[in-house]
C-alpha cells in the first residue's frame, strides 16, 4: 500500500513538473496563459538573426519609395517581415517574385498588414525584429543642396516634395567672394548613411561571428571595413553620443544611441592621437551623415592611444535593444552589418576638408525631424 501511494505521489509530482515546464516554455516565447504577472518573464525579443540580403532590402525600399503618397503606401520593413515569416528568416531562399506577389496583393487591397499578422504565425515577430534594425532609416526629412547643381545633387534614394531657398557666400578659385544659393528640399526616402564617407575606398567581407582571441576567445560581433588611416567615419543614423573614449578591445571608440532607443551603433579602432571629429563629446547630438571620427587601428591594449591592431579598419557594430537589461552583459543582441552596409552604399555623405584644421565635415546638411522633436 505504501509503495502504491509513493508511486501515485511521484506521478503527481512529475505531472506538475511537466505542466511547469510547458508554462515556462510558453513564457519564454509567447507569454500566453494565466501565469502570475509577478513571476513571469518580461515579454520582449531576446534573439535576432538579421540576414536580410541587400538585394531584398533594395527591392523592398523601392516599393516603399514608389508608393509614397499613393492610396496604398507599402512599408519596406513590412514587406521584408512577410518574407522573413515565409522563409523562417532564411533569406538564402529569397526570390524577387515572392516580394512582387505580396506587393501586388497589398496594392490591390487583397492583403493588409493586419491580415498578415493574423494569417502568419511569426509575422509579428519579424516585423518587430526587422523594424528594430530598419525603422529609423527611411522617412521624411530636409536636405540641403547647391542650387546651381540641384538637379544633379537630388538623391536617387529619395522623392522630392518641396523647396525653400537660402543664400550664402563662397569664394571662387581666385579667392574672390561670390554669391551662391543653397536650397532646402523636403524629401522622403533613405535618411540613413553609409558609415564610410563618399569617395573613400574600403574593402570588406562577411566576418560577423568569426573567432577573436585577444583577451579571451569570443565571436566577432561587428563588421570590419578596411581602408586608409584618417578616412572620415560617418554617423549612420541621428542620435546622441552615449560612449566616447578608450576601450582596451575597441581602442578609441564611439557609441551612438538612436533616439527611439532601439539601436546602439558602435564605431571602433579609430585613429591614434586624433580619433574624433573636433569638439565631439559624450552627450552630443549628431545627425545622420555627420563626420564623427577617423579610421585607425587603435585597440587591443590596456594602455590608451596604442596601435595594436594589424590593419587600418573601422569596426562597425549594431546592437538591438528591446529591454534595458539587454544593453550590457550576457543578454546583448548584436546583428550582422554586412548586407546592411552594402545597402547603405547608395547613400554616402559627401565631405570636404579644411586644410587649416585638417578636419573633414559634411558638404550638405540635413534636418532630421527626430532631432528636432527630441
Residues 284-337 pLDDT 10s: 999 999 999 999 999 999 999 999 999 999 999 999 999 999 999 999 999 999
Residues 127 and 150 in one domain: no
Residues 253 and 309 in one domain: yes
Q: Count of domains in the chain? A: 3
Residues 266 and 118 in one domain: no
CA distance 302 to 248: 5
Assess if residue 49 is contained within a domain.
Answer: no
Assess if residue 3 is contained within a domain.
Answer: no
Assess if residue 5 is contained within a domain.
Answer: no
CA distance 309 to 301: 9
Assess if residue 27 is contained within a domain.
Answer: no
Query: Are 281 and 244 in contact, with CB atoms under 8 Å apart?
Result: yes
Give the pTM.
0.83
Residues 128 and 262 in one domain: no
Among candidate residues 137, 154, 171, the one where a domain is terminated:
137
Residues 216 and 352 in one domain: yes
pLDDT of residue 149: 53
The phi, psi pair for 236, rounded to 5°, reads -65, -45
Residues 117 and 242 in one domain: no
Q: Model confidence at 17, in pLDDT bands (50, 70, 90)?
A: very low
- Domain of residue 96 covers 54-137
Residues 143 and 127 in one domain: no
> Is pLDDT larger for residue 372 or for residue 276?
276
Among candidate residues 137, 158, 173, the one where a domain is terminated:
137
Residues 209 and 307 in one domain: yes
Residues 97 and 217 in one domain: no
Averaged confidence pLDDT in the chain: 85
Residues 210 and 269 in one domain: yes
CATH of the domain at 247: 2.70.70.10
Assess if residue 2 is contained within a domain.
Answer: no
Residues 219 and 353 in one domain: yes
Q: pLDDT by residue (tens digit) across 248-277? A: 999 999 999 999 999 999 999 999 999 999
Residues 129 and 258 in one domain: no
**Beta carbons within 8 Å of 172's beta carbon, 6+ residues apart:** 178
Assess if residue 148 is contained within a domain.
Answer: yes
**Beta carbons within 8 Å of 135's beta carbon, 6+ residues apart:** 77, 260, 262
Average pLDDT over residues 197-221: 85
pLDDT of residue 180: 63
Name which of 141, 84, 70, 164 is nearest 116 in CA terms. 84
Amino acid at each position: 500500500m505504501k509503495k502504491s501511494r509513493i508511486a501515485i505521489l511521484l506521478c503527481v509530482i512529475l505531472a506538475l513538473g511537466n505542466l511547469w515546464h510547458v508554462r515556462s516554455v510558453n513564457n519564454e516565447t509567447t507569454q500566453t496563459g494565466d501565469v502570475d504577472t509577478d513571476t513571469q518573464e518580461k515579454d520582449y525579443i531576446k534573439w535576432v538573426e538579421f540576414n536580410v540580403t541587400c538585394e531584398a532590402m533594395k527591392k523592398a525600399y523601392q516599393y516603399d519609395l514608389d508608393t509614397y503618397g499613393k492610396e496604398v503606401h507599402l512599408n519596406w520593413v513590412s514587406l521584408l517581415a512577410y518574407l522573413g515569416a515565409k522563409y523562417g528568416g532564411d533569406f538564402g531562399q529569397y526570390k524577387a517574385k515572392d516580394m512582387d506577389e505580396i506587393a501586388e496583393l497589398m496594392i490591390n487591397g487583397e492583403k493588409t498588414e493586419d491580415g498578415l499578422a493574423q494569417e502568419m504565425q511569426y509575422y509579428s515577430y519579424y516585423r518587430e525584429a526587422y523594424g528594430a534594425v530598419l525603422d529609423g532609416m527611411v522617412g521624411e526629412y530636409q536636405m540641403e543642396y547647391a542650387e546651381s547643381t540641384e538637379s544633379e545633387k537630388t538623391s536617387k534614394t529619395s522623392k522630392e516634395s518641396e523647396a525653400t531657398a537660402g543664400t550664402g557666400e563662397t569664394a571662387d578659385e581666385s579667392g574672390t567672394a561670390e554669391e551662391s544659393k543653397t536650397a532646402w528640399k523636403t524629401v522622403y526616402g533613405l535618411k540613413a548613411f553609409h558609415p564610410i564617407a563618399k569617395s573613400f575606398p574600403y574593402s570588406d567581407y562577411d566576418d560577423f561571428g568569426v573567432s577573436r582571441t585577444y583577451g579571451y576567445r569570443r565571436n566577432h560581433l561587428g563588421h570590419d571595413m578596411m581602408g586608409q588611416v584618417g578616412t572620415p567615419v560617418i554617423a549612420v543614423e541621428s542620435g546622441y553620443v552615449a560612449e566616447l573614449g578608450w576601450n582596451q578591445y575597441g581602442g578609441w571608440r564611439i557609441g551612438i544611441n538612436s533616439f527611439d532607443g532601439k539601436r546602439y551603433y558602435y564605431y571602433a579602432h579609430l585613429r591614434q592621437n586624433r580619433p574624433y571629429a573636433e569638439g565631439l563629446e559624450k552627450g552630443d547630438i549628431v545627425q545622420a551623415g555627420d563626420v564623427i571620427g577617423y579610421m585607425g587601428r587603435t585597440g587591443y591594449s590596456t594602455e590608451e592611444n596604442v596601435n595594436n591592431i594589424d590593419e587600418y579598419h573601422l569596426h562597425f557594430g549594431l546592437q538591438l535593444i528591446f529591454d534595458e537589461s539587454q544593453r550590457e552583459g550576457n543578454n546583448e543582441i548584436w546583428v550582422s552589418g554586412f548586407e546592411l552596409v552594402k545597402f547603405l552604399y547608395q547613400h554616402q555623405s559627401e565631405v570636404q576638408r579644411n586644410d587649416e584644421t585638417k578636419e573633414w565635415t559634411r558638404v550638405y546638411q540635413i534636418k532630421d525631424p527626430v532631432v528636432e522633436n527630441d
